[in-house]
Structure 1
Amino acid sequence: MQIGKLAELTGVSIRMLRYYENAGLLHPTRTETGYRDFAVHDADVVRRILMLKRAGFTLPVIASVLNCVRAGARPCDALKMKIREQLALIDRQVDALGQSRELLKGLLAVPHQ
């Protein structure tokens, strides 16, 4: 599929898809006329990139994860520590958000003076 179709399927701009390709995250083939030709599974790769970005991973770490997790394999041992660190960070963020939520709920419950 052409890059415009991939952009449409994933909601990611063409410019960002080219950036992901330059970063080694996507590997389209080229047609005889030089156009990028993405595989159907590249849409899943882009969705995985977005998910990992939302989880706080940098593009170099995402590239490492994608290289290790090809074809449903488990993450490489070298990345397991990074993943554990990121999970711990997310847990701390969830706890902090929960505390903020409770504080805001408490402020709503306070009668106006």
Structure 2
Amino acid sequence: LATMDPSVNAGFFLETFQRAGLSELTNSSRGGRPGVQVGASQGPIAADVPAGSLIVALEGQRVASVDDLWVRLARSTVARTRLATLPAANMTVLRPDGTERDVEVPLR
């Protein structure tokens, strides 16, 4: 995938994660496992996804970079809109304490 400029291509997705309480997303890895690190976490989601967590999958699809996250989220959003289901996505995170957890992230 080509690198996306968030200020041009991914504004909606940035806002989605910020509304959910997640920000400062950066490419990272832990123990050789790539993903997207959460630099700041606030609100209700902070208990499940504390700062320092690594997003490793969205809707069961591996996430290795911020670009992967945007693509997975776009596909999830399009699919859920077409199916008229509640707009939320399932995200797998590796928490700072080493535990892995699935968390539902609202898309509105």
Give the alignment's TM-score, normalised by structure 1: 0.30
Name the TM-score, length of structure 2 as normaliser.
Answer: 0.31
Point out the structure with the larger strand share.
2
Larger Rg over CA atoms: 1
Q: Choose between structure 1 and 2: higher helix proportion.
A: 1
Q: Which has the higher contact order (CA 8 A, sep 6+)?
A: 2
